[in-house]
Amino acid sequence: MYDGVKVIALIPAAGKGSRMKTERNKLMVTLEGRPLIEKTLEAFENHDWVDEIIVVTRDIVIEGDFRKISHRVQGGDTRQESVARGLEVIEDPEAYVLVHDGARPYVTGDLISRVIEGIAETGAAIPGVRVKDTVKKVEGNRVKKTLNREELLSVQTPQGFKARLLKEAYGRFGEQAVTDEATLMEMMDQPVLTVEGDYRNIKITTPEDLAGIKGVNQMKIGIGYDVHQLKSHRDLIIGGVKIPYEKGLMGHSDADVLIHAVMDALLGALGEGDIGQHFPDKDEAYKGISSLVLLAKTRDLMMAKGYRILNIDGVVVAQKPKLAPYLLEMAKNIAGVLCLEPAMVNIKATTTEGMGFTGLGEGIAAEAVLLIDKEL
């Protein structure tokens, strides 16, 4: 409740989503592991000023625990018809109504608050962001006029109104086709306040919109670190490359310190623990095994979860031997196993200038950082 006034979120979610080119309602498309509509509803469920949520739909299934949902109304053939049906169940004429597109899942609490405060000021408020591109008015494919973008806003939702005003607007002009509720307010000369919108508050309408969202919002970073002792009578294998040296790294497998760091980074990004959980050093199946094989198994886990690697940056810390001649081959080996372009893997080497266990030649360490995102 805001200053003693009930706040109701009205979410039209009955669209067919034909431009999304999916067989089901686009709001049931999975986003970050759950239906898109549930992420949209969460912002209003968690907002302290929002008292109720009305969902207007036809075929979506909401399984999340949304205690503020007071009504589930059967949707109409158009967005306007759906909003009108939602308004019918609102009895308090002084309630604040927030009409929000179900396909805008990244609305923030701050944005919701700004709209509610705007309703209190004028009775009607909408969020908008400044247009960044130059906008042309055209006829056919001919430019007629360049519009002043300083006077233009790209309008978003939630659009907020006192219930009695919105009901009056729908009663008087609801039969006329409009693209938002604010247009109906303009038709009856009701002042509409604009508040600051949010460029992240995009509406997912086409497959390209969804691709952009997934590309940005499902990125995850992983970091991996590993160290092994240097001992005589062991092969020195780093990044899948056998390097001539008087000592090698001790370990249950081939002790490839760089590959282990990359694996730990990948497992970390996936939220899958670490190498020891997946490939325990007490399991004889992994004794002496090439770490490239283990990397491939980790890759398969990643692919099964629907992720891909965007890039890897790794560093090997060793006083001796000099690793520069082998770095490119290491990167190619890692890229090959992970099905990446070689340019997506960068491997470096450094020393500690004689300090610490690596500087004393007692061991070699490696660290890796990588970025993954969800496959489309």
CA–CA separation, 102 vs 41, rounded Å? 8
Whether 68 is covered by a domain: the verdict is yes
Q: Which domain holds residue 167?
A: 7-216
Whether 194 is covered by a domain: the verdict is yes
Element containing residue 142 per DSSP (H, E): strand 142-147
185 and 235 belong to one structural domain: no
Point out the domain boundary residue: 167, 186, 216: 216
171 and 303 belong to one structural domain: no
Three-class DSSP category at 44: helix
Whether 2 is covered by a domain: the verdict is no
CB 89, CB 71: distance < 8 Å:
yes
Which CATH number does the domain housing residue 282 bear?
3.30.1330.50
The conformation of residue 2, written as its DSSP 8-state character, comes to B
Examine the pLDDT at 24 and tell me if it is beyond 90.
no
Q: How confident is the model at residue 335 (pLDDT cuts 50, 70, 90)?
A: very high
70 and 211 belong to one structural domain: yes
Condensed to tens digits (0 to 9), the pLDDT of residues 271-285 reads: 999 999 999 988 999
212 and 247 belong to one structural domain: no
Whether 1 is covered by a domain: the verdict is no
Whether 27 is covered by a domain: the verdict is yes
Condensed to tens digits (0 to 9), the pLDDT of residues 81-103 reads: 999 999 999 999 999 999 999 99
250 and 360 belong to one structural domain: yes
- In total, how many domains does the chain have? 2
Condensed to tens digits (0 to 9), the pLDDT of residues 214-259 reads: 555 578 999 999 999 999 999 999 999 999 999 999 999 999 999 9
68 and 190 belong to one structural domain: yes
CB 357, CB 363: distance < 8 Å:
yes
Amino acid at 341: E
Point out the domain boundary residue: 176, 196, 216: 216
266 and 199 belong to one structural domain: no
167 and 264 belong to one structural domain: no
E runs forming strands in the chain: 7-13, 30-31, 34-35, 52-57, 69-74, 96-99, 124-130, 135-139, 142-147, 153-155, 159-162, 193-196, 220-232, 236-238, 241-243, 247-249, 307-317, 345-350, 363-374
123 and 167 belong to one structural domain: yes
Condensed to tens digits (0 to 9), the pLDDT of residues 164-208 reads: 999 999 999 988 999 999 999 999 999 999 999 999 899 988 766
Whether 51 is covered by a domain: the verdict is yes
Point out the domain boundary residue: 189, 216, 243: 216
178 and 224 belong to one structural domain: no
Whether 47 is covered by a domain: the verdict is yes
Average pLDDT over every residue of 113-135: 96
129 and 264 belong to one structural domain: no
Three-class DSSP category at 93: coil
Which CATH number does the domain housing residue 89 bear?
3.90.550.10
250 and 180 belong to one structural domain: no
